[in-house]
């Protein structure tokens, strides 16, 4: 499918600078641009490539001022990154969607299947599950008993949804994710062995949640582990039992959240962040990568770093001192020697 600069600009409510009839049929990174493709420039670090790229059309911010001649046709928009993302979503929506139930799938007779669903090879849908309209279950997905999946949700190959869990509408669950595995609940007995505490709760994911590959979300001991609307989790994340994650919170890879922790809305966690259990994180909090959180964060919008974490600004200043500790130590030793010499002469 081919689009002209004029058509793209109309879709994005932008303006064309150059040839409005320039046409594209694919996309490419600006540093790897090819004729007939669309690129974008949002990060100033990549500006040098716009002067040499052979991409036919480049989306740029309205305030972009070129320092050299540009051969590509430009489309100016308020936010180039957001505009390019919107185009990619539109492109994705135009792709034909798979439909139908494979003969190699195992679908229980008590399952409620919505309209225009896709069930791939070797996928299992267990008793009394409810699958909404336009749901896509790719090969080797497992859906447990009494699971509910909302309309338009996509579950990629090999993902597992354990019994009783509820998945909202238009969610995306990537390959290898496990939703509803047992929480880590054990109690020591008189013989000093650990006995398993049955995990009888479930996981509730609200609408527009996305779960990365090989991420695990444990069912609650009782009640529910809850991911609110719009939560986005990267690959290889661990969410423990009875955790609640607020709306539109995002977490980068290898983050781990311990049991019964409550996280507010619109939070942002960098990679490899770790939270202990039974704490509360206020809305809008930002936690830098590799930070460890050992107590409540009550102030909304706070930015923290470190392990144990504290405010970002003081942490950066403290780190500057920490890096110079060997030098400071040597200076102290020199001062001690000088003071000792002065004292001995007195």
45: domain CATH number? 3.40.1390.10
| pLDDT at residue 343 in the model | 85
- Answer with the one of 94, 121, 148 that is the final residue of a domain: 94
The encoded tokens of residue 59 equal 């989306």
- Considering the domain architecture, whether residues 86 and 121 belong to the same structural domain is answered as no
Report pLDDT digits (tens) over 27-84. Answer: 999 999 999 999 999 999 999 999 999 999 999 999 999 999 999 999 999 999 999 9
pLDDT of residue 92: 83
pLDDT of residue 228: 98
Q: Verify that 184 and 277 share a domain, yes or no.
A: yes
CA proximity to 205, closest of 186, 223, 225: 225
Least confident piece of the model among 94-98, 167-171, 262-266: 94-98
CATH of the domain at 112: 2.160.10.10
Count other Cβ atoms within 10 Å, centred on residue 135. Answer: 26
Locate the DSSP E strands across 139-214.
142-143, 148-149, 154-155, 160-161, 166-167, 172-173, 178-181, 186-188, 194-196, 202-205, 210-211
**One domain for residues 139 and 227:** yes
Q: How far apart are CA 14 and CA 58, in angstroms?
A: 12
Q: What residues make up the domain containing 330?
A: 316-345
How many C-beta atoms lie closer than 10 Å to residue 345's C-beta? 6
Q: From the candidates 241, 278, 280, 337, which is the catalytic residue?
A: 241
Do residue 114 and residue 243 come from a single domain? yes
Q: Are residues 224 and 274 in the same domain?
A: yes
Q: What mean pLDDT comes out for the span 19-34?
A: 96
Strands 23-24 and 3-4, bridge-based pairing: antiparallel
Q: What percent of the chain has pLDDT over 70?
A: 100
Quick one: 112 and 233 in the same domain? yes
Give the Cα separation of 110 and 78 in Å (integer): 51
Q: What is the residue-averaged pLDDT of the chain?
A: 95
> Same structural domain for residues 140 and 262?
yes
The mean per-residue pLDDT over the stretch 282-301 comes to 97
What is the pLDDT confidence band of residue 197, given thresholds at 50, 70 and 90?
very high
Domain total of the chain = 3
Kindly state whether residues 126 and 271 are assigned to the same domain: yes
User: The pTM is what?
Assistant: 0.85
Whether residues 139 and 284 fall in one domain: yes
Find the helix or strand (DSSP H, E) in which 304 lies. strand 303-306
Task: Please tell me whether residues 305 and 332 are part of one structural domain.
Answer: no
**Count of Cβ atoms closer than 10 Å to residue 54 Cβ:** 14
Indicate the pLDDT class of residue 297, thresholds 50, 70 and 90: very high
Residues 307 and 170 in one domain: yes
- For residue 279, give both structure tokens: 């704490």
- How much is the pLDDT for 114? 97
- 149 with 65, same domain: the answer is no
Instruction: Give yes or no: 337 in active site.
Output: no
Asked if the peptide bond before residue 212 counts as cis, ω within 30 degrees of 0, the response is no
Domain limit, last residue, from 35, 62, 94:
94
Coil/strand/helix, residue 344:
helix
């Amino acid at each position: 499918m081919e689009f002209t600069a004029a058509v793209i600009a109309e879709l994005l409510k932008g303006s064309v600078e150059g040839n409005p009839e320039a046409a594209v049929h694919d996309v490419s990174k600006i540093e790897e641009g090819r004729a007939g493709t669309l690129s974008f420039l949002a990060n100033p670090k990549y500006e040098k490539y716009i002067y040499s790229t052979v991409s036919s059309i480049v989306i740029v911010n309205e305030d972009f001022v070129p320092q050299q001649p540009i051969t590509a046709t430009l489309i100016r928009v308020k936010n180039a990154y957001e505009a390019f993302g919107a185009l990619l979503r539109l492109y994705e929506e135009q792709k034909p969607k798979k439909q139908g139930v494979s003969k190699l799938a195992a679908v229980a007779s008590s399952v409620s299947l919505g309209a225009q669903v896709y069930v791939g090879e070797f996928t299992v849908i267990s008793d009394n599950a409810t699958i909404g309209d336009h749901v896509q279950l790719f090969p080797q997905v497992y859906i447990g008993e009494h699971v509910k999946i909302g309309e338009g949700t996509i579950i990629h190959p090999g993902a597992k949804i354990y019994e009783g869990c509820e998945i909202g509408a238009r969610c995306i669950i990537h390959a290898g994710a496990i939703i509803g595995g047992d929480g880590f609940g054990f109690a020591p007995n008189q013989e000093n062995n650990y006995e398993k505490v049955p995990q009888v709760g479930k996981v509730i994911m609200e609408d527009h949640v996305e779960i990365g590959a090989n991420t695990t979300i444990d069912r609650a001991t009782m009640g529910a582990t809850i991911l609110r609307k719009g939560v986005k989790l990267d690959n290889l994340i661990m969410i423990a039992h009875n955790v609640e994650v607020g709306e539109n919170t995002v977490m980068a890879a290898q983050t781990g959240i311990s049991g019964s922790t409550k996280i507010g809305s619109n939070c942002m966690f960098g990679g490899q962040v770790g939270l202990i259990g039974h704490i509360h994180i206020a809305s809008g909090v930002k936690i830098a990568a590799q930070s460890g959180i050992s107590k409540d964060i009550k102030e909304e919008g706070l930015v923290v770093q470190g392990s144990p974490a504290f405010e970002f600004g003081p942490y950066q200043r403290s780190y500057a001192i920490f890096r110079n500790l060997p030098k400071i130590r040597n200076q102290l030793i020199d001062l001690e020697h000088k003071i000792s010499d002065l004292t001995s002469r007195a």
